[in-house]
Copies of this chain bind each other. A is one copy, B any other.
Amino acid sequence: MSGTEEIVTAAILVIGDEILSGRTKDKNIGYIADHCTQIGIQVREVRVVADLEQEIVDAVNALRARYTYVFTTGGIGPTHDDITADCIAKAFGVGIDHHPYVKQLLLESFARRGVEATAARLRMARIPDTAELVENRLSVAPGFQLGNVIVMAGIPNVMHAMLDAVTPRLRTGRKMLSVTIELLRPEGEIAEVFGEVQAEYPDVPMGSYPFNRDARVFGTQLVLRSTDPDQLAAAEARLRARLAEKGIAT
């Protein structure tokens, strides 16, 4: 892909039994999605899979073939259920071993903290061959990028640090811009005119999101999205005019 590519896409792969059981409520999907939208990467799909080798390998291979980037979270700690690095190596068909620089970082950190350098702790130095490291300024053990797959921790603040570290090296495309029109009317009242304006502007995807702020007030947010600011402004103006014709103030 070239540097002039205008649409850059991504998938998010969340790895962990604890999300599927409901024990832990995921906070990483929304964070990564927001971040990608802000920098000009379009998240097109999300999957959550269990801590099972075949599930992870299959999901990584399906997603990395379809999207510019795949961001994974979870499964890179020191315990036996942390199998993400091995699964990524398997998905790409490359070897995996202790990375000399990461091992040195960990050994220095263990020495500073006065903890023993056990085999389990040193598991966190296992990095697939040819992967680039993704710095972890919070808790030393890094993430990594192999091909178009970026592997990050599951703990939110550690993931945030890794996402910050990898962002400067990501290719980004045109930013998806959006306009939100909030109406204190139910969806049903605007659905017809909204559909008509969508048909006039097929390249500006328009979504309708009902909400209730208390038990009695039902409202609707209309969201228009485009990478082209002129198209977006034209569609917005047309929608506001058509709503006004129907007596609906925006």
Contacts and interface: CB of A to CB of B under 8 A. Distances in A.
Interface stretch (A91-99, A128-136, A143-151, A186-194): A186-194
A121 B44 CA distance: 29
Interface residues of A, number: 69
A24 B188 contact: no
A46 interface: yes
- Main SS class of interface, A: mixed
Given A50-B44, A118-B188, A188-B118, A208 B21 contact: no
B43 A46 contact: no
| Oligomer copy total | 2
Given A120-B195, A205-B17, A30 B37 contact: no
A48 B51 contact: no
Given A44-B50, A205-B17, A198 B33 contact: no
Contact of A17 (B23, B115, B119, B207): B207
6 contacts: A20-B33, A20-B43, A22-B35, A78-B188, A80-B191, A82-B208
Interface of A: 14, 16-26, 29-37, 42-51, 55, 77-82, 115, 118-121, 123, 155, 157, 176, 178, 186-192, 194-195, 198-199, 205-212, 223, 225
